[in-house]
A and B are shown apart, each in its own frame.
Chain A
Amino acid sequence: MGSSTDPIISSGFDKLDKELPGGGWPTRNLIELLLPAEGLGEIRLLSPSLEQTTRSGRNILLVSPPYIPYMHAWEHLDIDSQRIVIARVYKPAERLWVLEQGIKSAAFGTVIGWLPEVSQQTTRRLQIIARTATSLVFLFRPVSAQFEPSAAPLRILLDSGRRHTLSLYLLKRRGAPLALPIRISLPWTRSFSSSIASLPASARHHAVDRSSLPDIIA
């Protein structure tokens, strides 16, 4: 399999790392993720590398995310929500500009952009900028983009398996193509629940705790 000198960051999934050139997400390159719809587990797929980004003290930039990120959930994936910067721009030209500035800036360890439509020239331009940066750059694009050419050296089509699993089709990578999809199982609630389980039942933190109400009333 092809490898390059670009530093890589483990995806956190052994099965996926094995198939990625170099053994992880390549930095300094565009990584295209083609997504049929939001809510298939795309953030959980990225969460191990995002967690690593914030743990090493670097920031994450989200460029025009499709919904509002629910930070409690991101925190449950151990991602430091204070290191997330959200750019809410929805004009294509502005979105692209912000994306370029974010990739160029030394401030971000990971840049994630949602681009409904981009041309091949644009991806080439972004790829050239990404070559000079040090960050991980993920682009979420619609599934229809798989038939358009793209300058991103790594393109992956995501598809939902059954619950909490994700099928990854590596459409393009450095080295030999991969015919079969990779199935990975996604993290669900984090180990948080285990620490809660160890607490006595009365100390559990419920949204509505009525167990003590009768005592108070009495």
Chain B
Amino acid sequence: MLWIALHCPTLSLDWIERRFPAALIPAMAVTVRKGNQVYIQQANKPAQQQGVTAHQSLASALSLFPDLVVVEHDPNEEMKALQEAAYAALRFTPNIVMQGSGLIAEVSASLKLFGGLKKLCQLLNRAVAAQGLQLCAGVAPTAGGAWLLARSASPQTVINGAGAKFRSMLDSLPVSLLESAQPHLEVIHGIGCKTLAELQQLPRGGIARRFGPKLPIELDRAYGDSPDPQKWLEVPEYFQQKMRLMAQVESVELLLVPVQRMIEQMCGWLAARHAAVSAFSFVLHHEYSLRQPHKSTPINIRLSEQSSDSRHLMILLRERLERTKIIVPVWELELIADEITTGADSNLELFPTAQSEATSLNRFIEKLTSRLGSQAITGLKVVSDHRPECSQRFEPLGISGLRETHREIIPTEWARPAWLADPPLELKLQRHQPVYGSPLKLIEGPERIEAGWWDDALIARNYFIAENELGQLLWIYCEHTPAEKDKKGKESKSWYLQGLFG
């Protein structure tokens, strides 16, 4: 077993700071009540610059900086933030244990996939830190050991205890890190016992009698001397996350950071369920306002091919968000995975295959549709009909759209032009000769196309191939109707440009 523990020493501040756009974070402090006194537990950087520090009483902190934003210690919100961060970590391993101020991940099965311990530790750290938490990490062969090492690490560092030095590293840790020693710290320190090594040397029975049976058990589990059953993080059946914002946000730019976090959470959740999402919705909840009667703006995204790639999902959502007008400030975001499919993940292919080319085509189509609408990007489906107007139709591209094997092409001895003018362009006449740029010379024809008596779009036309002085080859026709004669007794027919031979 190999464990990576991530400890968030500033969790009581982080959970609230992560709800602000980075530029708008005010000077803040978290308070705890001790007796009838309120103390500062933690202060953030802007507050520290004003002289506010931990263990100050609230009154003296406020006298230093009257505009200080005071937040009461809220274990529920902390746990929620931690859980969201744990979702993002599920990408790397399904085995995660929640702790009060951090999480421990069992990673022995993930080492190869993510390129070794160092790389994995980096990725995991980055993924959880991207959720807005400040972390220090510990690596060890036991969960308890990793957790102790992480808590002894200074901010944003990793202590690697995964080698032979593990026991000696634990030995040097202070006793105060042990959770079950907290009520007895004064006594333990009083008998001259400062490190875990010194605690280990004391007689077992005595420790259990004096400090409770939990202390030797915690110690043994950390060292790996006794089994340590864990309660794993359970993944819910449905994904629906909400994120309350602490500032009124009116620009999409400021939303992108929390949106990215939520997408990462969803992708971690998908990974844990071995699933991919094929439709998801993102909802912007607004403050009540007369300017906008709707309380929320939903954005529904349907993928042409299921995906669990956070980058891809983010691109799609971002394209849609950037076209969304935010009239009223947003105060809450919600992300829901509407439809998921479980199954194989095509992203792990070693070489690009026809499948992955189809995937990139689907992605391309999705990206374009989400920005320009589905009308902008189409294929042309060939239909077996002699009338040029009816012989093909624009079809939206989907997964199946491009992959039909049967094509109905009408065989013909006559050439067909690469370009169609739709609708046909009526040509000017010059001495009863059609003109397009210059008078046209008929080269080939006539070819009679007469069809459509079955659906009220009857055509009866004589088609010719004509050339003008520029060298354009044109496909033109005249209606084959009993020739109308004008007053002088000459035939006057209308000519139409149907296509160009590109």
A and B from one assembly?
yes
Q: Select from chain B the residue with minimum beta-carbon distance to A46.
A: B502
Q: Select from chain A the residue with minimum beta-carbon distance to B410.
A: A72
The 8 Å CB contact of B413, one of A58, A67, A86, A196, is: A196
Total chain B interface residues with beta-carbon distance under 8 A: 62
B404 contacts which chain A residues (CB < 8 A)? 82
Contact B367 A59 (CB under 8 A): no
A207 contacts which chain B residues (CB < 8 A)? 386, 447-451
Contact A85 B377 (CB under 8 A): yes
Given contacts A39-B472, A70-B499, A87-B377, contact A192 B411 (CB under 8 A): yes
Q: Select from chain A the residue with minimum beta-carbon distance to B367.
A: A101
Contact B372 A59 (CB under 8 A): no
Contact B411 A68 (CB under 8 A): no
Contact B364 A102 (CB under 8 A): yes
Assuming A43-B502, A67-B420, A84-B380, what are 12 further A-B pairs, CB within 8 angstroms?
Answer: A38-B419, A57-B357, A72-B392, A76-B416, A77-B418, A81-B380, A85-B377, A107-B361, A160-B471, A193-B413, A208-B448, A208-B450
Query: Which of chain B's residues 443-495 have a Cβ closer than 8 Å to chain A?
Result: 443, 447-451, 467, 470-474
**Per-position contact with A for B419-455: 1 when CB-CB < 8 Å, else 0?**
1111000000000000001000001000111110000
A207 to B414, CA, bound (A): 11
**Per-position contact with B for A187-199: 1 when CB-CB < 8 Å, else 0?**
0110011011100
A149, chain B: closest CB distance, angstroms: 27
B361 contacts which chain A residues (CB < 8 A)? 59, 85, 105, 107-108
A58 contacts which chain B residues (CB < 8 A)? 357
Query: Which of chain B's residues 393-428 have a Cβ closer than 8 Å to chain A?
Result: 394, 397, 402-404, 407, 409-422
Contact B499 A159 (CB under 8 A): no
A159 contacts which chain B residues (CB < 8 A)? 471
Contact A38 B380 (CB under 8 A): no
**Per-position contact with A for B353-379: 1 when CB-CB < 8 Å, else 0?**
010111011011101100110011111
Which residues of A are in contact with B by a Cβ distance under 8 Å? 36-44, 57-59, 65-77, 80-89, 94, 97-98, 101-102, 105-108, 159-163, 188-189, 192-193, 195-197, 205, 207-208
The 8 Å CB contact of A105, one of B363, B371, B397, B403, is: B363
Contact B409 A75 (CB under 8 A): yes
Contact B360 A188 (CB under 8 A): no
Interface centre among A83, A97, A207, by most B CB within 10 Å? A207
Can you list 23 A-B pairs, Cβ within 8 angstroms, ordered by A?
Answer: A37-B472, A38-B502, A39-B473, A39-B474, A40-B502, A42-B502, A43-B419, A58-B357, A59-B357, A68-B422, A70-B391, A70-B418, A70-B420, A81-B382, A84-B379, A88-B375, A98-B372, A106-B356, A163-B467, A189-B413, A207-B450, A208-B449, A208-B450
A76 to B448, CA, bound (A): 19
Q: Select from chain A the residue with minimum beta-carbon distance to B463.
A: A207
Query: Which of chain B's residues 254-301 have a Cβ closer than 8 Å to chain A?
Result: none
A107 to B361, CA, bound (A): 5
> With an 8 A cutoff between CB atoms, is B352 at the interface?
yes
The 8 Å CB contact of B472, one of A40, A161, A162, is: A40
B450 contacts which chain A residues (CB < 8 A)? 207-208
A-B residue pairs, 7 tightest by C-beta? A160-B471, A39-B500, A67-B419, A107-B361, A43-B502, A73-B416, A39-B472
> With an 8 A cutoff between CB atoms, is B501 at the interface?
yes
B409 contacts which chain A residues (CB < 8 A)? 72, 75-76
A16 to B456, CA, bound (A): 48
Contact B418 A105 (CB under 8 A): no
> With an 8 A cutoff between CB atoms, is B155 at the interface?
no
Q: Select from chain A the residue with minimum beta-carbon distance to B352.
A: A106
> With an 8 A cutoff between CB atoms, is B329 at the interface?
no
> With an 8 A cutoff between CB atoms, is B224 at the interface?
no
B498, chain A: closest CB distance, angstroms: 9
> With an 8 A cutoff between CB atoms, is B388 at the interface?
yes
Contact A94 B451 (CB under 8 A): no
B236, chain A: closest CB distance, angstroms: 35
A42 contacts which chain B residues (CB < 8 A)? 502
Given contacts A72-B391, A81-B407, contact A67 B500 (CB under 8 A): yes
